[in-house]
Amino acid sequence: MPILLKAADIIAKYSPELIKESNFLASDGLTPYLEVVLVGNNPASESYVAHKEKFCHKIGAKFKLTRLKEDVGEKEFIDCIKGMNENPEVTGCFVQLPVPNQLRHLNITQLINPTKDVDGFHLKTVTDIYQGNLTGILPCTPKGIITLLRENSINPAGKDIVIIGRSYIVGKPLALILEAMNGTVTICHSKTKDLAKHTKNADIIISAAGMPNLITKQHLRSQPDQVLIDVGMNKVNGKLVGDISFEDVHDHVKAITPVPGGVGPMTVYSLMQNLLTTTKNIIKQRKV
Ligand code: NAD
């Protein structure tokens, strides 16, 4: 049987530490405070935001959801971001993506104050990672995957790692992070000619394509020694599934993440870690 890389045990193990740290920061003068801007009411975004709010309450952080109408104009939207950037009580903030068409031309991730960048998408954050500095804020999904691997004693150093997907929020930063951790990383994408050729060679396969059943037994080698991380979140007949056909592959791998219950909750957990880090950094800056 494969090892099931589940988030629940890790989150249960470390939540008391997050609560303790959040209380400590509050006693040091600044309660962690997350503000999220949500434009419109996309059901998936509503659900992600609800999970983030719940986790904030769990660790004793403040949470504010600012809702803007689907047809909000550019000025009102930017003013709203400026407001949370400048609010001295808010210690972390982001805009829940995606946003409606009329706002898509804006470079939204760059509008966020980098000291409050809990999503880890600001260029300043990305530059640190590009330079191999992994000690600061890391984007939440890649950070959650690194934690999952570490907590299961899977060291990326020296491993052949295939990442499927090259997005700004998952594939690209994850590749930089794993390369900085001495993994040998290959990025595959929609124009990759022979996906199975790459995945068969990998010790670790991470799929972030957003395509159900993309990875099947045909993509694996015969020895059950590969680790599979499924980032995909796809709705099929009302059910949440990943990119990996779990039933098809699970007897042929060393370890695999479930969907739901794998990378998704680790992403929210990482967001809370980032919120505590930005809060700590703001306290430090204020003390100088
Ligand atoms: P995206 O649409 O921005 O990028 C998808 C990437 O997959 C692209 O680079 C594309 O080239 C590649 N791709 C698409 N089809 C492919 C194929 N057939 N073969 C190889 N590559 C292919 O998506 P994203 O924002 O990075 O998200 C990807 C998936 O991960 C989605 O299902 C999303 O919902 C999910 N996601 C989950 C979490 C989480 O916390 N679990 C976080 C972020 C994204």
Q: Give the DSSP H/E element, type plus range, for residue 184.
A: strand 184-188
d(CA 206, CA 46): 26
Report the pLDDT value the prediction gives residue 12, as an integer from 0 to 100.
Answer: 98
Which one of 45, 48, 164 would you pick to mutate in the ligand 1 pocket, going by the greatest count of ligand atoms within 8 A of its CB? 164
Question: Do both 89 and 179 map to the same domain?
Answer: no
Question: Do both 235 and 165 map to the same domain?
Answer: yes
Domain count, the chain: 2
d(CA 24, CA 26): 5
Question: Do both 109 and 148 map to the same domain?
Answer: no
Considering the entire predicted model, what is its pTM?
A: 0.98
Just list the catalytic residues. 52, 96, 119
d(CA 135, CA 268): 19
List the residue whose alpha carbon is closest to atom 41 of ligand 1. 264
DSSP string, 213-227: T-B-GGGS-SSS--E
Q: Ligand 1, residue 44: give the atom nearest the CA.
A: 34
- Ligand 1 centroid to residue 189 C-alpha, Å: 9
- The CATH code of the domain that includes 199 is 3.40.50.720
- Ligand 1 centroid to residue 235 C-alpha, Å: 13
List the residue whose alpha carbon is closest to atom 3 of ligand 1. 167
Q: Ligand 1, residue 263: give the atom nearest the CA.
A: 41
Q: Give the DSSP H/E element, type plus range, for residue 52.
A: helix 43-59
Cβ–ligand 1 contact at 116 (below 6 Å): no
Report the pLDDT value the prediction gives residue 163, as an integer from 0 to 100.
Answer: 99
Report the pLDDT value the prediction gives residue 1, as an integer from 0 to 100.
Answer: 85
- Domain residues for the domain of 50 are 21-113
- The CATH code of the domain that includes 54 is 3.40.50.10860
* 200 part of a folded domain: yes
Question: Do both 148 and 190 map to the same domain?
Answer: yes
One pLDDT digit (tens) per residue for the chain, 288 residues: 899 999 999 999 999 999 999 999 999 999 999 999 999 999 999 999 999 999 999 999 999 999 999 999 999 999 999 999 999 999 999 999 999 999 999 999 999 999 999 999 999 999 999 999 999 999 999 999 999 999 999 999 999 999 999 999 999 999 999 999 999 999 999 999 999 999 999 999 999 999 999 999 999 999 999 999 999 999 999 999 999 999 999 999 999 999 999 999 999 999 999 999 999 999 999 998
